[in-house]
């Protein structure tokens, strides 16, 4: 298909493979569908977990995302990267879940090594209680992220954990690139305010 390589610079081989698998899935190929799930389940489940902060619902919502992929396969047109389209489905289901449950519980997120965005630790000379402080800080960061409005939270999760470009985030959230930058600026400002005692 002519549009399959559009906007896939740097990852066109990966995206072309996703498009190829989706074409097979549209014909009812369950093996191709299983391969798509394997390729992207960590992206979907990780995004859902960081957005909802409730491990009990993560598997269910992630499963719903892939059910939507299966049902939409025949209508799928590769205008953007497959992962962008997949994250749009994820966004819709997550936002629906947030609105339905009005969830504000502060549940620990799965932390990843190297995920810190702030220069917060001195690795050379850790204090005796450094690991305790780091655990407390990680919890504070996760709590602060969970209190952000949903669009700010989603933009931050996609940028911080999934390393998506501003352009990709704009497509997922149906925003302009300047709007994404503004949303991220507000999210980071809010985080710095909430974490000010750690950043002093």
- Domains of the chain, each with CATH number or no CATH: 1-104 (1.10.1740.10), 114-200 (1.10.10.10)
* Tens digits of pLDDT across the chain (200 residues): 444 334 434 457 899 999 999 999 999 999 999 999 999 999 999 999 989 886 568 899 999 999 999 999 999 998 889 999 999 999 999 999 888 876 444 444 544 444 444 444 444 555 556 677 777 878 888 888 888 999 999 999 999 989 999 999 999 999 999 999 999 999 999 999 988 877 76
**What is the distance between the alpha carbons of residues 131 and 173, in angstroms, rounded to a whole number?**
36
Is residue 103 within 8 A of residue 53, CB to CB? The reply is: yes
- C-alpha distances in angstroms, 73 versus 40, 95, 111? 15, 22, 33
Concatenated DSSP letters for 112-172?
A: -TT---S----SSS--TTHHHHHHHHHHHHHHHHHTS-HHHHHHHHHHHTT---HHHHHHH
**What is the distance between the alpha carbons of residues 117 and 188, in angstroms, rounded to a whole number?**
10
Total Cβ atoms within 10 A of residue 50: 25
- pTM for this prediction: 0.75
């Amino acid at each position: 298909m002519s549009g399959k390589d559009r906007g896939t610079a740097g990852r066109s081989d990966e995206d072309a493979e996703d498009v190829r698998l989706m074409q097979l899935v549209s014909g009812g190929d369950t093996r191709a569908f299983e391969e798509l799930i394997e390729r992207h389940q960590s992206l979907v489940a990780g995004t859902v977990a960081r957005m909802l902060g409730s491990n009990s619902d993560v598997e269910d919502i992630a499963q719903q995302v892939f059910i939507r992929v299966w049902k939409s396969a025949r209508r799928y047109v590769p205008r953007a990267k497959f992962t962008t389209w997949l994250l749009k489905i994820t966004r819709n289901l997550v936002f629906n879940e947030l609105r339905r449950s009005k969830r504000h519980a502060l549940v620990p997120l799965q932390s990843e090594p190297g995920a810190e965005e702030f220069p917060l630790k001195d690795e050379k000379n850790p204090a005796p209680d450094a690991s305790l402080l780091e655990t407390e800080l990680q919890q504070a960061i996760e709590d602060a992220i969970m209190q952000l409005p949903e669009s700010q939270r989603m933009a931050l999760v996609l940028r911080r954990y999934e390393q998506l470009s501003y352009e990709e985030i704009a497509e997922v959230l149906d925003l302009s690139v300047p709007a994404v930058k503004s949303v991220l600026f507000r999210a980071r400002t809010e985080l710095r305010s909430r974490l000010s005692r750690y950043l002093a």
